[in-house]
Structures are given as structure tokens and as C-alpha cells.
Structure 1
Amino acid sequence: MVLDALRDLPPAPVLALAFLLPALEASTMLGVVFPGEVALLVAGAAAHAGGAPLWAVLVAGTAGAVLGDLAGYFVGRRWGHALLRRLPRRLVRPAAVERATALIRRRGGPAVFLGRFTALLRALVPGLAGMSGLPLRAFATWNAAGGLLWASGVVLLGYGAGAGLGVVEHRLGLASEVLLALVAAGAVVVWPRHRG
């Protein structure tokens, strides 16, 4: 049932989802609330079901991740401090922002690469890198490497999960049929006793 729904999705919305949510994650800080890997997992499962070619999902997800973080870098460079002041303190603590910015200043590109693999950092590190003065070339290089590895890994996990969905659906289908048969048998035994 889930695989049928994924199979019936046209490729265009699957690819748009795989591109847009990772792209919006850092460029609009949407990732603070809704991590982009959810879209990539679904798109990977849809690719397994035949809803979109796997190679296209990999390209769309990687492009969204890399370009979105590049936009986040420029947003952080231009408006980062003002935007951070507007975020709720429960989501982003000033002390944590200072530590992350200091880490980016000390470690540079490797901090950008590692930040890619944690949801909250993934949404904030590009902007913090722009705020910290990390050179664009260093950011772009490490961002591309992290984006490629992260997006490909998550899409492939979704693809593998799509294979597992078929097995789970089949087993759940068998279990529900057995349960229905037991309920029906129980009703056949109990119902005549209550009638008479």
C-alpha cells in the first residue's frame, strides 16, 4: 500500500521534494524545525518503488543540499546576526552560537563538513560560517563534500528502506489476515451462543 502510493507519485514532485527541502534547510533555517533528511528518505523510498530514477534523486538531493547551504552562507554573511536575534532562545542559545562560531573560526572547512551530519547544526553552520568570515572557497569545497556524502547516504538509506517496506507490508498484510480470520472464527463460535 505505501509502496503503491510511492510508485504512483510522478517523478517531478519527488525530485522537487528531494531538492527543495534540503535547499531550504539552511537558506531559510527551516531545518531548525523540519530536517531535510525526511524528504531525502521519502524520495529514496520512492526511487526504490519506481516513482523516480535513483540517479535523479541523488542529483536533486545533492544539488539542494549544496546550493541551499551556499545560500545560507551568504544569508549569514549579510544578515546572520539580525536573524539569530529573532530565533527563539529555546532553539538557539547564544552561548552555543558563540561556541559554534568559534569552532568554525578555529577549524574552518572541516567544521562545515562535520556540521552537515547533525540536523540543528546543518541548518545553522552555513550561516555561522558566513558570519565568522570563513573564506567562500573553503566553505564551498567542504560544503560540496559534506553535501554529496550526506545527501547520497540519506537517499540510499531511503532506497534501502523502500526495499524493507515491501517485506514489512507483506508481513503486516499476512498478520492482519490471520487476525481477521481469528476474529471471524471467534464471531462464528460466539454469535450462535448469544442468539440461542
Structure 2
Amino acid sequence: MLDLLVALPPALVLALVFLLPALEASTFLGLLVPGEIAVLVGGVLAHEGRLPLWAVVLAAVAGAAVGDQAGYLVGRRYGRRLLARVPQRVARSGELSRALELVRRRGAVAVVLGRWAAALRALVPGLAGMSGIGHRAFTVANLAGGVLWAVAVTLLGYLAGASFRLLERRLGWGGEALLALVVLVVVVRVVRARRAARREGADAARPG
């Protein structure tokens, strides 16, 4: 895919820099094709002088913001119907339920953090709409996370130049590490809450 993208005309690559991030959350495409691939390639082409750097950043920011905003509105309007579109492997893995719990606990902070892991990037906007996060709070978090992500990934591609394939693998590992850390935090909190509930139940059952 990387070879194919690099070989495309620059104008088409710029269009994909917008489209792939825009489709990640609105269609769950991010569960299959991470949007950062196109953004990284756009940064590489900017390094080669085939695209203006500012144009790549602007397209990536616009795609990220528009896509997540659409995902949020779909989740807010259709609610549980959205879950039927999630691949079974994601549902069985528990990522979906953990992501929903994270959004409920962290709110707008989860929206910003979710931008940096492919699975969360595809799921968090719709789950944010389902969980009741306010439209204004989500929009602010979406724009902040989208700008930071788009600028960082574009600049990484620009600075990497010919080494973009190695960079893409490392970025993927970083996203997986972040996702693992988020899941670990949620699991620890759930376990602690259950233990506290059991202790409270045991204390209540004891005779006065």
C-alpha cells in the first residue's frame, strides 16, 4: 500500500490525506486501514518537493476533524445500531467495551488520547456520541486532538524522507503500546472498583 501511494500523482495523494482520516471513524475504515499511512506518505512527498507541506497538514487536519465529527453524530443519533457494524473480532476482543468505559470515565480527554491509536481512533468518536459527551466539548477535543495528530504525523513523514516505511512500523507499534496502556488502566480501575464493592457488601452483611 505504501509503494502504491508513493507512486500516485501528488494531487491524488493529497486527496487521500483528507479521505482516509475522514473515513476512519465515520465508516470504521480505521479498523482496517489506518489513516496515518496516507498522512505519512503526504509528508514524504512534501519532503521531496512534490507537495506543499502546509497543504498536507491542512488536508490531514480537515480529514481528521470532519471524520471524527461525523462519527460522533452517527453515534449520537443511531446509538446501539452503530455497534452492529463493528467487526466480530473487535467485539470479541473486548476492545469495544473497554473503549466505551474509557470514554465514559475520561470524556473529552479520551477523545484526544484516542487519536493516537488506530483502534481507538475508529471507535472513540461514535462511542463519545453514544455516551452523552456534549457536542461542544467533543468538538473542542476533536479539533485539538486532530491538529496535534495531523501536524505530528505529517512532520514525521517529512523528516523521515526515504525511511518512511520503518517509521510507519514504529508508529504502529507506538499506537499498539498506547492502546495496551489504556486497556491496562481501565482493567485496573474495574478490578479495584469490584474489590471495593465486595468489601462494602461484606461490611454491610456483618451483624451490628
Bin of the TM-score, shorter chain as denominator length: 0.7 to 0.9
Task: For residue 11 of structure 1, report the CA deviation from its aligned partner.
Answer: 3.7
Counterpart mapping for 1:36-185 below 5 A: 36-93=35-92, 95-162=94-161, 164=163
Deviation digits for residues 155-196 of structure 1 (CA, Å, limit 9, x no counterpart): 11111121557xxxxxxxxxxxxxxxxxxxxxxxxxxxxxxx
Residue type at the aligned position of 2:131: S
Task: For residue 34 of structure 1, report the CA deviation from its aligned partner.
Answer: 0.5
Residue type at the aligned position of 1:78: R
Task: For residue 94 of structure 1, report the CA deviation from its aligned partner.
Answer: 7.7
Residue type at the aligned position of 1:55: W
Aligned to 1:31: 30
Contact 1:10-1:52 within 8 A present in 2 as well:
no
Structure 1 residues 83 and 94, CA gap change in structure 2 (3 angstroms): farther
Contact 1:62-1:151 within 8 A present in 2 as well:
yes
Q: Which secondary structure does the structure 2 equivalent of 1:90 belong to?
A: helix
Gaps of 5+ in 2: 165-208
Residue type at the aligned position of 1:33: L
Instruction: Write the distance in 2 (CA, Å) between the matches of 1:82 and 1:9.
Output: 37
Q: Which has the larger radius of gyration?
A: 1
Structure 1 residues 55 and 86, CA gap change in structure 2 (3 angstroms): closer
Task: For residue 10 of structure 1, report the CA deviation from its aligned partner.
Answer: 4.2
Gaps of 5+ in 1: 166-196
Contact 2:114-2:120 within 8 A present in 1 as well:
yes
Task: For residue 117 of structure 1, report the CA deviation from its aligned partner.
Answer: 0.6
Contact 2:82-2:126 within 8 A present in 1 as well:
no
Deviation digits for residues 6-27 of structure 1 (CA, Å, limit 9, x no counterpart): 5x85442122011010001111
Deviation digits for residues 113-132 of structure 1 (CA, Å, limit 9, x no counterpart): 11111100000000000011
Task: For residue 95 of structure 1, report the CA deviation from its aligned partner.
Answer: 4.3
Question: After the TM superposition, which of the residue ranges 103-112 and 91-100 deviates more from structure 2?
Answer: 91-100
Contact 2:24-2:35 within 8 A present in 1 as well:
yes
Aligned to 2:177: none
Instruction: Write the distance in 1 (CA, Å) between the matches of 2:85 and 2:163.
Output: 42
Instruction: Write the distance in 2 (CA, Å) between the matches of 1:152 and 1:107.
Output: 24
Runs of 4+ in 1 over 6 A off after TM superposition: none
Deviation digits for residues 105-163 of structure 1 (CA, Å, limit 9, x no counterpart): 22110011111111000000000000111001110001111110111111111111215
Structure 1 residues 53 and 78, CA gap change in structure 2 (3 angstroms): same
Deviation digits for residues 37-60 of structure 1 (CA, Å, limit 9, x no counterpart): 000011110111111100010000
TM-score, length-scaled by structure 1: 0.75
Contact 1:10-1:51 within 8 A present in 2 as well:
no
> How many residue pairs align between the two structures?
162
Q: Which secondary structure does the structure 2 equivalent of 1:91 belong to?
A: helix
